[in-house]
A and B are shown apart, each in its own frame.
Chain A
Amino acid sequence: MSTGNIIAETSGLAIGYRISRRVFTVMSNLSLQAKQGELVALIGRNGTGKSTLLRTLVGLQPSLGGVVSLAGTGLHDIGPSRLPRIVSFTSTEPLAVRHIRVRDVVALGRFPYTNWIGALTSSDEDAVSDALEATGITSLAERSIDNISDGERQRTLIARSLAQDTGLLVMDEPTAFLDLPSRYAIVSLLRRLTREKGKCVVYSTHDLDTAVNEADRIWLMTGEGVAEGAPEDLILKGIFEKAFESPLLSFSSSSGTFSFIRGRETAIALEGTGKTARLTEKALGRCGYKTDPRAGIKVVVGERDGETRWTLVDGDRSTVFGSLYDLVNSLPGDAGQ
């Protein structure tokens, strides 16, 4: 694992809002770190202050106490013209325009480097092309932002951030509104940027799966503060379970994922092996059955004429089914509830 320089660090940071003279502290005493070449996922339930933390980190809103330092310099000592060369920020703010070309959006990332009129030099043009290529949207460059998919639009914003050529990229929910494959594609793109370009990417997300699987470091916001560490560290310490504690969910430490708790469960025996048996167990679980070899009723997975068949054995009665759907719909009792 890389041991890059610390690019973002907070110590004793308090975040929140000042509205006229009243102070609303969202969270205090945050001491966090992010290093070059790291993918950092910021996770937390709604309303825990993820956006507030990110906005404080990039200097969009003042902290209520403590210190933020970026690239070794305190945020307050970084001049307004240098800050945009150290950190870029992608928010969920909608664009004001409809007919803007992808290339023009990305080119606006060069803002801190261009002259008074915003003319691109050849090195700016190169940076724009590189950013388009790194995010895989070179072929979309001349398209209007309204004629591309949500995932491609997110790539455009990432490319813009990349064109800004900062060591630290902060992104507020880059995977919001995306479908599962696009979410994975975006997070793996972010990860690739940390590996190939040495960037540090800090992003907030609600998507635990990708974060646990891809992030080097997790900042997990709980009611008490932010826990920090490798995803597996946080799982081992049981912090995930505490952060997302809910009577409806159970956390699997082995996979690092949550699943629904089904309530009362009925025992059922299962005979069979391989993928079919695992999926059968899953289907039974969804209907409130827990596999137990000692149970009175039994499902036997087998094959007949090259087709998978399920046989439900209840005492001396046995019924054969051709699909899991038919099987679970003829299970006895109200166990399904």
Chain B
Amino acid sequence: MRPPEKRMTLAMSGLFILMILLFFADLLLGSTRLEASDVIRSLLGQGTPGGEIIIMQFRLPKALTAILAGAAMSVSGLLMQTLFRNPLAGPDVLGVSSGAGLGVALTLLTITPLISLPEGSAFAGWGIIIAAWAGAGAVMMIIMVVSTHMRDIMTVLIVGLLLASAVSAVVTLLQYFSNEAMLRTYVIWTMGNLGNISYPQIRALALSTAAGLVISFVMVKPLNAMLLGETFSRTVGVRMQRTRVVLLAASSILAGSVTAFCGPLAFIGVAVPHIARLLLGTTDHRWLMPGVALSGAVIMLLSDIISSVPGGGHIIPVNTVTSLIGIPVVLWIILGRAGLGRRF
């Protein structure tokens, strides 16, 4: 094994172990004190009734969601960065999360009250997910069109910003016409929340995340070629049009599903691919893809632990934590690299 491969294997194993440890830490830590033995017994279905409810109904779904959401958002960001050749691309930065949010807002604030569906029904799961995909996909398509005409990174970012603003204006308008209960649901959703998610919803999230990750992993070869530019990719036989559509779909599915259930998770998508590149020391998507997924899961679990631990009782919105982790990374990209170097 060459030294780089040794390092990557080491980093990946480290990340995997860290993910397992943090997963259990996430189950163990929270506003109610539980012993490690309680946690394990509850997982095996032999715990005290109270502990079992806390673990199985609250902490386990939250920890599982953290893993899924972290992996999905981060891989989505990785795809966008390579696709748009933009180190600052990510679901939230490019307005893709906002697009997904618009889809969610439309379902939560208009359609759901109209046909008055019971909370937690199958429609509430897949309906919201599909609306989020559509919203995310629409924004991705606009960004794609802009980025094929404008090579400039800043232009694309500004368009993303404008799209996000336009979308939030529409959402504000929707809020104006909706009732108080719906509004509260929506506002809580925007804060980013890993907790409020039912098992059927986790299943939907897991299925779509798995689908998105599988599609992404199938694309590692063209993704690697795209690192050397579009012209190169075309001359070695990459079908760019098809590749773009597939990558667009995959990143919309990943970012859209997470956004549908957890709200617009800030900065995870932009920051984690850079953290993973740094840890693994590679740009090869064959390693980067699983590395980014693991790093995303680790950072999301960490954010969740931080958001629920301090002081006990209170839970700070997870978006606050992810922003505090993500913003320094983004600043480091912008400042530490002679402006926007146009490259990763």
Contacts and interface: CB of A to CB of B under 8 A. Distances in A.
B257 interface: no
B333 to A, nearest CB: 11
B158 to A, nearest CB: 20
B228 A108 contact: yes
A131 to B, nearest CB: 14
A97 B226 CA distance: 10
Interface size class of A (residues with CB under 8 A): 20 to 34
Q: Choose among B232, B235, B286, B342 the residue with the greatest number of A CB atoms under 10 Å from its CB.
A: B235
Interface in B207-233: 218, 220-221, 224-232
B218 to A, nearest CB: 7
Contacts of A96: 82, 85, 226-229, 342-344
B149 to A, nearest CB: 13
A89 B227 CA distance: 16
Contacts of A83: 237
A100 B228 CA distance: 10
A98 interface: yes
Contacts of B228: 95-97, 105, 108, 160
A319 interface: no
Nearest to B226: A96
Contacts, number: 90
Nearest to A81: B237
B235 A58 contact: yes
B328 interface: no
Contacts of A100: 227, 283
A60 interface: yes
B220 A84 contact: no
Interface residues of B, number: 33
A60 B227 contact: no
A49 interface: no
A176 B221 CA distance: 30
B239 interface: yes
A60 B231 contact: yes
Interface in A104-122: 104-105, 108-109, 111-112, 114, 116-119
Nearest to B239: A80
A116 B225 contact: no
B3 to A, nearest CB: 8
9 contacts: A59-B235, A80-B237, A88-B235, A94-B342, A96-B82, A104-B284, A111-B236, A117-B286, A142-B4
Interface of B: 3-4, 82, 85, 218, 220-221, 224-232, 234-239, 277, 281-284, 286, 337, 341-344
